[in-house]
Every structure is written in structure tokens, then in C-alpha cells.
Structure 1
Amino acid sequence: MHHAAPGWTPSPKDPLSPEQPAQVRRILRLFRPYRGRLALVGLLVAASSLVSVASPFLLREILDVAIPRQRTGLLSLLALGMIATAVMTSVFGVLQTLISTTVGQRVMHDLRTGVYAKLQRMPLAFFTRTRTGEVQSRIANDIGGMQATVTSTATSLVSNLTSVVATVVAMLALDWRLTLASLALLPFFVWVSRRVGRERKRITTERQKQMASMSALVTESLSVSGILLGRTMGRSDSLTRNFADESERLVGLEVRSSMAGRWRMATIGIVMAAIPALLYWTAGMLTQFGGPAFSIGTLVAFVTLQQGLLRPTVSLLTTGVEMQTSMALFQRIFEYLDLPVTITEPQRPVTLQTVRGEVRFENVDFSYDRIDGHDQGDGHDRSDGSGRTGAQSGSGRAEAADRNGPAGERRRLTLRGIDLSVPAGSSLAIVGATGSGKSTLSYLVPRLYDVTGGRVTLDGVDVRELSFATLSQAVGVVSQETYLFHATVAENLRFAKPDATDGELRAAARAAQIHDHIAALPDGYDTLVGERGYRFSGGEKQRLALARTILRDPPVLILDEATSALDTRTERAVQEAIDALSAGRTTLTIAHRLSTIRDADQIVVLDGGRIAERGTHEELLAAGGKYAALVRRDSETASGGGALEVVRTGAEDGGAGREPTRPEHRAKGGAELSPGGGTADVAVG
């Protein structure tokens, strides 16, 4: 399982942290855009509370005046008054619920879209180190769990607080001694509710983590890939047991969450229900020992008010508990909202109206330690970046893999001192062992990663100074792992250009050599491609991805092992489409199959994070270095039905490669074989 790296997932804060008041203020700021509606809710709450406390006073007049004195007119008027207060309270309550629910749902919408927008701005490294299910759980479960709090708890808090204040004032107006007797145990109630709230918050944090873990397991194991893997490996029963274990742990946490403090809150309810008996006893004692006598109407009105105080008081205590629970959910959401966005658009971005496509790498360093949040500084020694033809020494590779920070600690560099120039319209092929940084180097151009040192330029402008719109329009990426949405073919293609006409879709599909296949489908371009495109073969998905890129029409094209997982026949068809797409564009090819790079204007061999060799195919063969060795080994293994991939291990690798690697298949004698078979390949990584 892939868990979020320490640099991306902040550790949970102490539930009793002194930062909690700041968190409360932050939550309140979420409601700031809706303060006008909330003010209206406040008016409705105040009116409802004032009207509701009038009813006991009307009851007192009925018992003490209207009935004893047989004043039927007054009795009718007072009875109508009680009915009117009930109607008004109900109407105010409905309006209050409507407005508060609307405001709450708008706040929920703002939170969901805020988190989603933040995640859209996160660098690629965040997603390579965070489980998809964890991200989904934060948006769905955590924000969903806050719904009751956001939509009703805040309004309930104001409503109940207003009711309590109004009722206490009315009780004081009737008799201050009975009021003090009623409120004597209030500090105890508050103390109990705070204890329960803290306990609930701790359990809620555990429960949400467990829900995220279970959500991640579902996402991973019930995807098409997960189902295929589970069944072909005979692990379906094992996965079911794993899910049952995760669910069982969640059951325990749900029970603990439901029962946390229940006995304490039940005790409060019992005591509150017993208070009327205490009031009758107190009134009797005061009268017996010389105090003023209480009229029946006053005593009944007071007990009615006290009973009316019971519901909002218990609700206030419960609200306090629920808000503590929700604080844990808000904390998890704020953790995502507070993640640093390391790749940002400059305040005054440069927009290129016309992009020629000249790409330069100037003394470029790159380390994954930095994007993980562990970079300690910028000072380090660079290589000469000469890129001379020939192999480097082992010590040079080790040097390329590490650098010393201010504290003398060693940190790994995936790329070091890279100097490259790719003229507009030319092609560059990048080869090297797994983990040598090939994909990483190409991903620096569209700023999927940012350099640690040096710079990458497009038409002479540092890519970090360009607008995101310019970069996305200028650079197209086609990778081995093609992603298609669960939508129609047309919708998948229009993701690159939403306003593309049907004619443009067909033209792009023809250029990618996939139009005839689409047209032969019963629903044509309206055919659903299925989850992650599983209704299409690998080659068909690649050609759909190429068609999508053709619609974008980028001057710079990055082909990241776009044909490495295809069989020879399918590769030939896809390669023809790639050749058509590459014509006249600056092309960076992460090479897997040798046949895809023979005609490249430049070939660069990466080794240990440095450029070991560069030149054309013929020049590198004549030099007799690493590239020539790869070609010789390709020739020796081609007849064995496998495609060679060179993989370094141990000290030879130098620890430089931290980019994600793909599964390999091993041939006899320990050679790494690509899954494609048939044609001699060079390394991936």
C-alpha cells in the first residue's frame, strides 16, 4: 500500500491543542460570505424565542385570573394567544431551517470545491505518494461528515442559546429563588459535556482515518485493474478478508463513537427530568418556613418554563459534543487546504503568442528530496555538464547521486548538471537505465516538477516565468499509461479542446489512425470507452490519446514510452501515428524500443543522473560507449524473443533514481525483459 509521504500528510494535532480557538475562527470565516442571511436567521431565532416564552405567562394568567374569576372573554383571548404563539413559533422555525440549511449547503459546496481546486494545484509528486482512496475520503467522507454541523449545528447553537437566555430571564421575572435552584447543577452539566466532546473528537479522528483506509482499499481493489489482478492471482478471497478486517475495525470505532459519553449524557437527562420535582419541593419548603406563597399559576408557569429550558439546554450540551467531533473533521480538511503548493504561476506570467518550440536545459539539478519537503538548501557543487561521450567512473556516478547540504547531510539527486539544447522542430531521444531520470527530465518542461537548480527554458524563457495556459498549450505529453475517462469517445477527445467540431474530431482520429475503428463501432464517437478505457485495447487507447494530443496541437511533444507496452504489430501502427504527429514539432522521446529512436536528431544517454553520452545514432555507435554496448546487447538478445532493458543495481545505481519504476520481466541469465517482446529495446525509467 502507498501511504502519503511525511512531507505531504501533516501529523494530527492534539485535540486539546491551544490552536483550537484559531481553528474556530477559521470555521467562522467560512460563513462570512453569508452574514446577511445569517443575520436574518438571527432575527428569526430571537423572535421565535421571545414568542415561545410568552406562552407560560399566558398560562399563568389563565390559572390565576381568567378561570378563578370566571372571565370567559379574557380566557378566550388568552387561549387564542397561546395558539398564536405556537403558530408563530412553527413558522419562524420553518423559515429559520430553510435559510440555515441553504447557507450550510453553500458552505459545504465552498469547502468541497476549495479542496478540489487545491488538489488540482498540487504537484505531481503529491499524487504519486498519496493513496487515491485517501484523497477521495477527505472530499466525500470528511466533508460529508460535517454536513449536520455546518447545515444545522451553528443555527441550532444560536437558537438554543437565545432560547436559554430568554427562558432564564422569564424565570427570573417569576421567581429568582426557584431560578437559582434550577440552575445550580449547570456547571456540572457543562463540565460533563466538555469531557464527552473531547472523547468524541479523539474517536472521530481515528474513525475517519479508518474510513479513509477502507475507502482506499475499495478504490484500489474494485477498479478494473484491481479486479483483474485479484482474480488472476487468486487473491479475491484474501482481498475480501482484508476488507472484512478493515470493516470490522470500523465497526468497533463506530460503536465507540456512538457510546462515547452516553452514560454521562444520560445522567444529565435524568437529573434535568428530576428538576421539576425539586422545584415543587423547594416551593413547598419556602412556603412552609415563612416564605411568600406561590400561586398555582406562577408555579405551573415556572415549571413549564423550566421544562422548556430542558430541551435547549440538553441540545446545547449535545451541540458542544458534536462540534468537538466536527473539529476533528475540519482539522483533516484544513490539513489539505494548508498543504504547500510548490509549483505556482508567477504574479506576472509571460504569455507566448507563438511558440517555436526551442527547449533548453541549463545546468539542471533535480532532487525528489526537495519536493518531499526535505530540501535543506541550495548550495552544492555542480558537474561540468559537458556531456562528453564515454562512460563516467563509478565515483562520478556516486557523486551525481548525492550532494551535501549545509549540515553536511547527503541527499540524492535524480538529475545533476544537465545541459541540453533541443532546437525547435528537432527530435531528442533520451535513453538510460531504470531510475536514471529520463521521465523526470522530460517532465521538467511542462512543470510537472520544478528544477532544484539551474533552469529549463522554452523559446528562451524560463518555464517558471510562463503562464500555465502557455505551458499547457505549448507542451503535449503522451505516456505509456494512457488515461481515458468513463465517457464517450467524443467526450474524451474534447477534453483537449472542448469547442472542437465533429470534423476536427474525425480529422484528429484519422491522423492518429483510429478513425476507422471508431466509425466501425455501433455508436461511433458516442461509444462509452468504459472505466479507464477498458473497452479498448492498449494500442487503441494509445491512438485515442494521440488523437487527443493532436487536437491540442502542441509545438512541443513529449513521448514517455508511448509504445513500450505494445506488441510489435500494434506498435507499428501507433508509431506511424506518432511519426505523423511529431512532424514539424520539437519532440522529446523517452526511448524504450530502439526502432523508435534511430532517426532522432539527438540521442542522450543518462547515467547516474548525468549525461553520459550524446550524439546521433551513428555517432554513438562509432564512439563505442554505453549506447553501442546497448545496441550490441540488443542484437544478442533479440533472437530470444525478449526486448532488452538494462537495469542497474546496488552501487552502480548510486541511489540516484527515485522516479516511479514499472514492473519488468526477467529473462534467463538475469537480463531484464520488457513485456512487449519481439524487438530489441533500450532501458526505461
Structure 2
Amino acid sequence: MAETLTTTPRAAGGRPGSAGRGGAPQRIDPRDRAQLAVAPVPLSRVAALFHPYRAQVAVVTLIIVATSVVSLAQPFLVKAVVDRALPRQDVRLLVWAVAGMLAVAAVTQLLGVVQTWMSAGVGQRVMHDLRIRVFGHLQGQSLGFFTRTRGGEVQSRLTNDVNGMQGVVTTTATSIASNVTTAVATIVAMVALSWRLSLLSLVVLPPAIWLTRRVALLRREITARQQARLADLNVQIEEGLSVSGIRLAKTLGTSRRNVERFAVTSGELVDLEMRSQLAGRWRMATMQIIFAAIPAAIYLAAGLPATSKGMTIGTLIAFTTLQAGIFRPLMGLLNVGAQWVSSMALFSRVFEYLDLRTDVPAPTDPVPLDPRDVRGEVRLEGVSYRYAGSSVDAVHDVSLVVPAGGSLALVGHTGSGKSTLAGLVARLHDPRAGRVTIDGVDLRDLEPETLAAIVGVVSQETYLVHASIRDNLLLARPDATEGQLWQALGAAQVADLVATLPDGLDTMVGSRGYRFSGGEQQRLAVARTLLRDPRVLVLDEATSALDNETERALQGALEELVRGRTTITIAHRLSTIASADEVAVLDDGQIVEVGRPAELAARSGGAFAALSTADPGPSSVPIPAPSPAPASGRCGHSVVTSSI
């Protein structure tokens, strides 16, 4: 199944089953048909979701039937009052009939409360189960899935579609059951009261329902357009009033155009709202005429000698009461097809995510490995990887060994495959050929939590959650003490800055860290990773947002911190690889040169020498001779540094 899904979120108010209670009739949405054509849903799979709550569903169904049957007693009680109690002055019968009316009202309302409570409870629990399953399944997807899928679409599946599925129980299923039961029971009661008037209703009702539905569908069409324009307005608000949107408008000078575009959309909404209100008024007028015409026809038939046949006033009142109540359930039943397709489309969209194959699956039989015992030897053995949709490998047949205590720099032009290799070491992707190991253990054989404890990553795209500095740091180590937090900040050369803030560690970083500059965000991310104390540290151009002075200070801190751990760094300046034991030059996803930095720099015409000449970064920072190897028997530190 393709992972790139292109369905669009539902407009607000488009939940299935909304017409089942007498609202506007529904047409089958072509998007729902298309969704089910691509990913059909077996009814057994939907039923399995409700299997744990089958007892509650059965009780809800019984309550719906009981409510419909009990409510039908009301017209017969009215008939008894009008035909017998009042003419005969039968006080006892009158009291019992009135008490029965109150009892019927009380019982039906109480049953309705219980039905709503139970059906809503089942719907919420099923929705809760699905939300957890979908969220957990998506957490296991590879990074590639999220780069190929729009973020808003993922959120829509997890919120709008899952929330809409609650309507299958609380609205669609209950309204269908209620409408069927009410319609059947009402027709039986009408025939029992007067089969002649029932035949008349069969003649009058169909055109009345058709006319009402025709007017209502006109309003639905206008409402659909109104919702589409409202969605456009919401997008303009989100894009125009977000931090990034305001920054873009001010730097490009598009504020006036944004306002004009917003005014046009808002004006169209005004026009659609006026048309919607007018269509709604026509619908109400049509229904009121029909509600007046049908009883009038019945009264006429009851008064004519040829059709009355001795009909009593009580029978006439009871019949008109029943006849008025059958209109809405019949209208609701006309929407069953649209409600069913809409509900199944919601399940289809959610199941589509649950059926996604995980590119980076957790091992079924993981290798037990204590992160504290890891030495940090990294091996890439014939590794190849190709991104989805590409016809060529991003890296091809790459073999490297980073001994514990050694350091390797990966250098190359943009797109040469450096970040791809770093992502393979962190298992953001799995190689399509070859394998990546740490201390001889294939990464695919490690639990994700174990691997995360061994390999720490700081990428060039810093992400800070909208919380305090403390909360961002504690993501890496929830049990860290205050001293450990400040120690990590100090190592990342950002402790002095945090100390000057009025709220210190409790300072809010803002949306995506906008409270701080790019370099400050980068250092906070470094502190967060260092706090985790991983044996393997991946720095994917982690110093790209830092100035030269701050970068040198951070590199000095890292030199002390990398001892005893494996650090993989990808940097944008060649000056950052001066202390690397070895350098591997990548070009088009393959290694073209490997050696010590000083040796490669001195090699005339070599790939690394050409990069050194093109990059002004190392001009003021000479590449020294390689540092001596660590002492024997000591846990090594491996640094993989990549540069353009």
C-alpha cells in the first residue's frame, strides 16, 4: 500500500449521520466513494472494533426499540381521553390517562438519557482505542514516511477522522435503528387506528418528502461551498498570522496583498451566508406548508361521509399525531445510504494508516544489550540506501569501520550522502542492502528504546517543544537533577545565557524555540543530547548555526565530552574535522577517498584537497597531525564528522 496519502480533511460539520435526526438530506460524497474504491472496508473488521463492547451495543439497541414502542402509547392515551373520559365524565379514566401521558414522557426521556450515555461511552472508548493504535503505529513509521506525508493530513486522520467515527455509534447507528423502529411502529399504529387514512397518507407523504428533500439538497450544496470558503479563510488566518507567516509578509512586503485576499474570501463568505440563510428560510417555509397541508387533507377526509365511516374525534387526533411523527424518521431513512458510505469512508481512512507497513520495524526477538556496556564500535558493511521515489541510491555499497576511541570525518559536497549515513547509524532509515552494527550487533536487532539510549542525535534542524528550557532538557533524561541540567548547559556553552534569564530554567522557549536565536537553539539541543549521555553521539551539522567563536568554544567542550563515547558529527566547515583520526570523502553516495586529514590535505589533486581549497573555513585553522590513539583497555570515542 502506498504510504503517501492524498485525502483532504473533512470540512467542519460534515460528520456522518447528521441528517438522521431531521437535518438536511445527505448525498454520497464522491470522495467517500473514491476512498472505498481504493481501500474497501470489510464489515467484519468494523464489527471487531465494537466486539469488546457488544453487551453495551445490545443494550443501546434494546433501549432504542423500547423508547419507540413506549412513545407510541401517547396517541392512544389521547384517544381514550377524547373519546371516552371527557364525553362520559369518567374521572378515574381521565386521571389514569393523564398519568399515563406523564409516565410515557418521563420513561422515554429517561431512556433517552441512558441511551445517550451508553452510546457516547461506547463511541468514546472505541475512539480512544483507535487513537492510541494509530498514534502508536505512526510512532513506529520511518522518518521517510513523515517527509512524504503532509503533517496536516496526519493530524486530520488522527483527530477529525477518528472523532468522526464516534458518530457511527452515537449518531449514524443509533439514528438508523431509531428511525427504522419508529417508522415501522408508527405505520402499524396508524393502520390499527384507520386503514383508510393510512392509505391517504401513502398518497400524500411521498410528494411531500420529495419536495422537502429537494429544497434541503439545494441548501446543502450552498453549505458545502460555504464550508470550502471557510476552510480557505482558516488557511489564510493560519498562514498570515503565524510567526513564520508574519515574518514572511514583513520581509516580502505582502501584508497589503494578504489583507486584500482575506477581504475577498470574507466577502464571498458573506454572499454564501446570505444565500444559505435564504435557502434555509425556503426550506422551513416548505416544511411548514407540508406540515399544515397533510393534517388538512386528513381532516378533510375525516369529514367527508364517503371516507369518515364513523371516525371519532379521538381517533382523528391520535392519527394526526402519529402521522406528523412519521415524517422525520422517513426522511432519516432516506439518508441511510449516504450515512453508511460516509461512515465506512472514515473507517477506511483510519485503517489505511493502521495498515501501513513500518519501514523501520521493531525486532520480534531483540538482542539484549545494556547501553552501559557498549564500547561504541560502529561498522557499516556494504550499506546501500535509496529514498522512496528515487531511481538511484543515496549511498551505495559503503563500508566503514569506526573503532571505539577512533574518529571518522565524512566530507563531501551537498547531496553526497553524508546525512544519509548519519541517519542509518541512528536508524532513522534501514539500509536496503548491507547492515550497520554497534559492537557487532545489527541495529535492526535492537529495541528502539535501547538504540535511543545508545545513540544520541543533534541535527542541523533543531526542534524545541513549546515548553520551558527545563522541560526540553528533561525529555532526554526525566530523572536529571538540577546540577546535571546546569552541567549539560555548561558543556554546550549556553549556561551563562540561561542564568541571565529572569526565569532561568523555567523560561519558555516559545513556538519551535523562537524565543532564542538559531545558535542558542542549537546549543540547547546539544545540551539536551549530552544530558542523555549516549555512547554514540551523532552531530549532523550541529554547529551550522554557530559563529566561529562560539563554534570553537563548543568544539572545545565536545573534545572533553566525547571521551568514553562514540560521537558522529556532520559539520558544514572543514575546520571542525581537524581532530578526526580519519576522513572519508563521499561523492554521489560512494567513498572516493579515505585517510588521515593531514595526509589527504597534502595529496595534490585529491578530492579532499579540492574541498579544502573550495572551503574558506579551514584557512585560519590548520589541520594538525592526527592525535594519538587512546590508551589500551579504555572505552574509546569515535567521531564521525561530515562536511561540505
Tell which deviates more after alignment, 599-608 or 85-94. Answer: 85-94
Instruction: Report the counterpart of residue 297 of structure 1 in structure 2.
Output: 314
Instruction: Report the counterpart of residue 498 of structure 2 in structure 1.
Output: 518
Q: Does 1:178 align with 2:197?
A: yes
Q: Deviations over 1:606-640 (max 9, x none)?
A: 1011111111102212333010112233359959x
**Alpha-carbon shift at residue 301 of structure 1 (Å):** 1.4
Cα distance in 2 between the residues matched to 1:259 and 1:579: 74
Cα distance in 2 between the residues matched to 1:27 and 1:265: 37
Secondary structure of 2:531's aligned partner: helix
Instruction: Report the counterpart of residue 328 of structure 2 in structure 1.
Output: 311
- The letter of the residue matching 1:575 is Q
Which blocks of at least 5 consecutive residues in structure 2 are unaligned? 9-29, 622-640
Equivalences for residues 435-446 of structure 1 within 5 A: 435-446=415-426
Q: Deviations over 1:296-348 (max 9, x none)?
A: 22222122111222333334446765665566655554544444432211222
Q: Does 1:96 align with 2:96?
A: no
Tell which deviates more after alignment, 49-58 or 251-260. Answer: 251-260
Cα distance in 2 between the residues matched to 1:346 and 1:198: 53
Cα distance in 2 between the residues matched to 1:492 and 1:135: 24
- The letter of the residue matching 1:541 is Q
**Alpha-carbon shift at residue 272 of structure 1 (Å):** 5.9
Equivalences for residues 673-684 of structure 1 within 5 A: 684=644
The answer as to whether partners of 1:539 and 1:574 remain within 8 angstroms in 2 is no
Cα distance in 2 between the residues matched to 1:227 and 1:337: 37
Secondary structure of 1:444's aligned partner: helix
The answer as to whether partners of 1:112 and 1:143 remain within 8 angstroms in 2 is yes
Cα distance in 2 between the residues matched to 1:425 and 1:263: 81
Cα distance in 1 between the residues matched to 2:347 and 2:222: 14
Instruction: Report the counterpart of residue 368 of structure 2 in structure 1.
Output: 351
Q: 1:205 to 1:564 in 2, by over 3 A?
A: farther
**Alpha-carbon shift at residue 536 of structure 1 (Å):** 2.1
- The letter of the residue matching 2:612 is V
The answer as to whether partners of 2:377 and 2:403 remain within 8 angstroms in 1 is yes
Q: Where is the helix percentage greater, Structure 1 or Structure 2?
A: 2
Cα distance in 1 between the residues matched to 2:575 and 2:50: 61
**Alpha-carbon shift at residue 116 of structure 1 (Å):** 3.2
Q: 1:219 to 1:23 in 2, by over 3 A?
A: farther
TM-score (norm 1): 0.76
Q: 1:52 to 1:119 in 2, by over 3 A?
A: same
Cα distance in 2 between the residues matched to 1:141 and 1:355: 44
Cα RMSD over matched residues? Answer: 4.0
Instruction: Report the counterpart of residue 629 of structure 1 in structure 2.
Output: 610
Secondary structure of 1:68's aligned partner: helix
Cα distance in 1 between the residues matched to 2:243 and 2:319: 66
Instruction: Report the counterpart of residue 613 of structure 1 in structure 2.
Output: 593
**Alpha-carbon shift at residue 125 of structure 1 (Å):** 1.8
Q: 1:207 to 1:309 in 2, by over 3 A?
A: same
Instruction: Report the counterpart of residue 367 of structure 1 in structure 2.
Output: 386
Alignment match of 1:47 (pick from 52, 66, 85): 66
The answer as to whether partners of 1:138 and 1:212 remain within 8 angstroms in 2 is no
Equivalences for residues 201-350 of structure 1 within 5 A: 222-241=241-260, 271=290, 274-284=293-303, 288=306, 292-317=309-334, 332-350=349-367
Secondary structure of 2:456's aligned partner: strand
Q: 1:16 to 1:517 in 2, by over 3 A?
A: closer
Tell which deviates more after alignment, 218-227 or 521-530. Answer: 218-227
Q: Does 1:67 align with 2:48?
A: no
Instruction: Report the counterpart of residue 56 of structure 2 in structure 1.
Output: 37
Instruction: Report the counterpart of residue 658 of structure 1 in structure 2.
Output: none
The answer as to whether partners of 2:215 and 2:282 remain within 8 angstroms in 1 is no
The answer as to whether partners of 1:133 and 1:215 remain within 8 angstroms in 2 is no
- Flag the structure with more relative contact order, 1 or 2, with Cα contacts below 8 A and sequence separation at least 6: 2
Q: 1:520 to 1:100 in 2, by over 3 A?
A: same
Tell which deviates more after alignment, 535-544 or 105-114. Answer: 105-114
The answer as to whether partners of 2:32 and 2:342 remain within 8 angstroms in 1 is no
**Alpha-carbon shift at residue 62 of structure 1 (Å):** 1.6
Q: 1:460 to 1:325 in 2, by over 3 A?
A: same
Tell which deviates more after alignment, 563-572 or 96-105. Answer: 96-105
**Alpha-carbon shift at residue 167 of structure 1 (Å):** 1.9
Cα distance in 1 between the residues matched to 2:518 and 2:613: 30
Secondary structure of 1:483's aligned partner: coil
Cα distance in 1 between the residues matched to 2:177 and 2:285: 24
The answer as to whether partners of 1:142 and 1:329 remain within 8 angstroms in 2 is yes
Q: Deviations over 1:36-78 (max 9, x none)?
A: 3333322332232222111111111122222222222111211
Tell which deviates more after alignment, 93-102 or 19-28. Answer: 19-28
The answer as to whether partners of 1:455 and 1:462 remain within 8 angstroms in 2 is yes
Cα distance in 1 between the residues matched to 2:266 and 2:464: 31
The answer as to whether partners of 1:123 and 1:343 remain within 8 angstroms in 2 is yes
Number of residue pairs aligned between Structure 1 and Structure 2 = 599
Instruction: Report the counterpart of residue 505 of structure 1 in structure 2.
Output: 485
**Alpha-carbon shift at residue 82 of structure 1 (Å):** 1.2
**Alpha-carbon shift at residue 600 of structure 1 (Å):** 0.8
Q: 1:161 to 1:298 in 2, by over 3 A?
A: same
Instruction: Report the counterpart of residue 17 of structure 2 in structure 1.
Output: none
Alignment match of 2:4 (pick from 8, 16, 19): 8
**Alpha-carbon shift at residue 468 of structure 1 (Å):** 0.9
Instruction: Report the counterpart of residue 534 of structure 1 in structure 2.
Output: 514
The answer as to whether partners of 2:384 and 2:396 remain within 8 angstroms in 1 is yes
Q: 1:635 to 1:535 in 2, by over 3 A?
A: closer
The answer as to whether partners of 2:575 and 2:617 remain within 8 angstroms in 1 is no
- The letter of the residue matching 2:185 is A
Q: Does 1:79 align with 2:117?
A: no
Q: 1:492 to 1:342 in 2, by over 3 A?
A: same
Equivalences for residues 532-681 of structure 1 within 5 A: 532-624=512-604, 625-634=606-615
Tell which deviates more after alignment, 122-131 or 357-366. Answer: 122-131
Cα distance in 2 between the residues matched to 1:576 and 1:621: 23
The answer as to whether partners of 1:123 and 1:449 remain within 8 angstroms in 2 is yes
Q: 1:292 to 1:202 in 2, by over 3 A?
A: closer
